[in-house]
Amino acid sequence: MTSHSASAAGAHYTWDDFIALEEDDLRELIDGELVEVEVLTHSHEKIVMRLGTSLTNWSDAGHGGVALASGYKVRVSDRRGLMPDVQFYRRGNEVSSDQEQGLVRGRADLVVEVVSPSSRRFDRVKKLNWYAQLGVPEYWIVDPQEQTLEHLVLREGAYVIAASLEGEEVFRPGSFEGMEISLAKLWA
């Protein structure tokens, strides 16, 4: 991740600056700085779409809820804001209509990050801690390069590994009854 800012180094941006960015400006708000995320690759976007589709299909099969792909902003604090690759809000935990520009109150039921070589540490340390701070019950970390998926669940304020899969295994998250995600299809 590289810092990108038109104004002087050390500028202090806030949530209001973050949500005012143009729709195609993919920077995240990290400790008061607007930080460029890595250019999204074909593989990254394909995985995001497959996971979003799996969650949407599960929802449409009668479970309810809504999946959102890259771009919907989540407020961590006034100086921190993220755009998870995929978010899922269960029935009864939908985003209120007054949060169209970004989630200020509440939390997703699931966030998914598809890591890249340059974001691996950030997704596994900082974002992990920030999502835990928000109380997000589940966090899936998908690593296309290593062909792994880690299913983390929040327990007493910290994430623990519920499942760690690789290669061509089939992911069956217990919190999404009946869902099956073939990892082979993610990497194809």
> What's the pLDDT band for 125 if we cut at 50, 70, 90?
confident
Name the amino acid, one letter, at 82. Answer: L
Place of tokens 């327990």: 155
Q: Output the pTM of the full model.
A: 0.90
Q: Convert the pLDDT of each residue in 151-181 to its tens digit.
A: 999 999 999 999 999 999 999 999 999 999 9
Q: Convert the pLDDT of each residue in 65-74 to its tens digit.
A: 999 987 899 9
Q: Convert the pLDDT of each residue in 16-49 to its tens digit.
A: 999 999 988 889 999 999 998 877 889 999 999 9
Contact status, residue 129 vs residue 157, Cβ threshold 8 Å: no
Give me the mean pLDDT over the 71-94 stretch.
Answer: 95
Q: Is 172 helix (H, G, I), strand (E, B) or coil?
A: coil
Residues in the chain: 188
Mark residue 82 as left, alpha or beta (left: phi above 0; alpha: psi -120 to 50; beta: remaining). Answer: beta
Angle at 29 between CA 26 and CA 30, to 5 degrees: 125
| DSSP per-residue letters across 90-105 | -TT-PPPGGGSSEE-S
Give me the mean pLDDT over the 121-130 stretch.
Answer: 89
Q: Which of 170, 175, 14 is nearest to 81 (CA)?
A: 14
Give me the mean pLDDT over the 135-152 stretch.
Answer: 97
Q: Tell me phi and psi for residue 149, to 5 degrees.
A: -135, 125
Q: pLDDT at position 130, please?
A: 96
Q: How many CB atoms lie within 10 A of CB 35?
A: 17
CA distance 18 to 44: 23
Burial (CB count within 10 angstroms: exposed 0-12, middle 13-18, buried 19+), residue 102: middle
% the chain with pLDDT above 90 = 81
